[in-house]
Amino acid sequence: MSLVINHNLMAMNASRNLSTSYSALAVSTRRLSSGLRVGTAADDAAGLAVRELMRADIKSLQQGIRNANDGISLIQTADGALQIIDEKLIRMKELATQAATGTYNSDQRLIIDSEYQAMASEITRIANATDFNGIYLLNGNLSGENSAHSGAGLASTGPLKVHFGTANDCSEDYYYISIGTATASALGLGHATGAANGKTISTQALAQASLEALQDAIVSKDKIRANLGALQNRLENTVSNLEIQAENIQAAESQISDVDVATEMTEFTRQQILTQAAVSMLSQANSLPRMALSLIGG
């Protein structure tokens, strides 16, 4: 290579190597400081696309877990109210058994019936008042077949839809909570408008006949509670599955996105040495043209 002064090719080469090493050093610094291997699309375009889809699924699954837990809370609210209704039904059967015996006169049976009717009214009040976040649970609003659900309006109708998946596939992403009506009239009890069994225990015959209606009411209530219990177990299993699924996707996302600190620190050290060496050589290369002065001066 000729000794020239117009073009310092060695300095240009050292400067280019310095720029390359310094850029790589900057990338390693960014990765180590952020903890991310893929910080921009330029780092790994395909990996970035996969990572963002995974992140969307992770967030959706985490919200699905919260949705399922809200569903469990809703079920527990309904079951707690049904437990109180259960106590009222047991008391009503006790009163019917009391009125069915012949040791009470008509006035006493009317007194017994007044408490019976009060219990029926309380059952209806509980059923109509029990709500979760403004959604009434036991008044029949959530009863019916799954096909009766409609979310087209501002307020959904029919069975309650619990959505927990990342898409909208009914077999994977949601199912319904249907809760039967638990008012006294729906259970066939109280508020006499005639002599129907279970409506009143004002006479010995009606009291005796009401015992079977009360038994049926207790069974109907138990079916509602059993269905809710099964749904709660299902939702709890769903939460466990979603947590495992979110954890596994998070692990896969980490493999794509997160930096291996040990490997990247090795690269950082290498680029740091190369950068320092390039700075040193650039300084030396810049001083080489001065040798021409010795020739000119001689």
- Structural contact between residues 162 and 172, judged by C-beta atoms closer than 8 angstroms: no
Query: What is the pLDDT confidence band of residue 195, given thresholds at 50, 70 and 90?
Result: low
Domain-wise residue ranges, the chain: 46-257
What dotted CATH number matches 46-257? 1.20.1330.10
Q: What is the pLDDT of residues 6-27, one digit of tens each?
A: 778 888 899 999 999 999 999 9
Rounded to whole angstroms, how far apart are CA atoms 42 and 45?
6
Kindly report the pTM of this predicted structure: 0.82
The three-point CA angle 220-224-228 to 5° equals 165
Query: What is the pLDDT confidence band of residue 67, given thresholds at 50, 70 and 90?
Result: very high
Q: Give phi and psi for 257, each to the nearest 5.
A: -95, -40
Residues 6+ apart with CB under 8 A from 206: 195, 197, 199, 200
Burial class (CB in 10 A: 0-12, 13-18, 19+), 177: buried
For residues 96 and 6, which has the higher predicted lDDT (pLDDT)? 96
Res 296 pLDDT > 90: no
Rounded to whole angstroms, how far apart are CA atoms 279 and 18?
7
The three-point CA angle 188-190-191 to 5° equals 115
Query: What is the pLDDT confidence band of residue 192, given thresholds at 50, 70 and 90?
Result: low
Question: Residues 228-254: what's their mean pLDDT?
Answer: 96
Q: What's the pLDDT score for residue 197?
A: 80
Q: What's the pLDDT score for residue 6?
A: 75
Q: What is the pLDDT of residues 46-60, one digit of tens each?
A: 999 999 999 999 999
Q: Closest Cα to residue 146, out of 172, 170, 173?
A: 170
Token couple for 211: 């015992």
Query: What is the pLDDT confidence band of residue 194, given thresholds at 50, 70 and 90?
Result: low
Res 282 pLDDT > 70: yes
Estimate the crossing angle of helix 261-287 against helix 9-34, to 10 degrees. Answer: 160
Q: Closest Cα to residue 149, out of 159, 162, 135?
A: 159
Q: What's the pLDDT score for residue 298?
A: 52
Burial class (CB in 10 A: 0-12, 13-18, 19+), 193: exposed
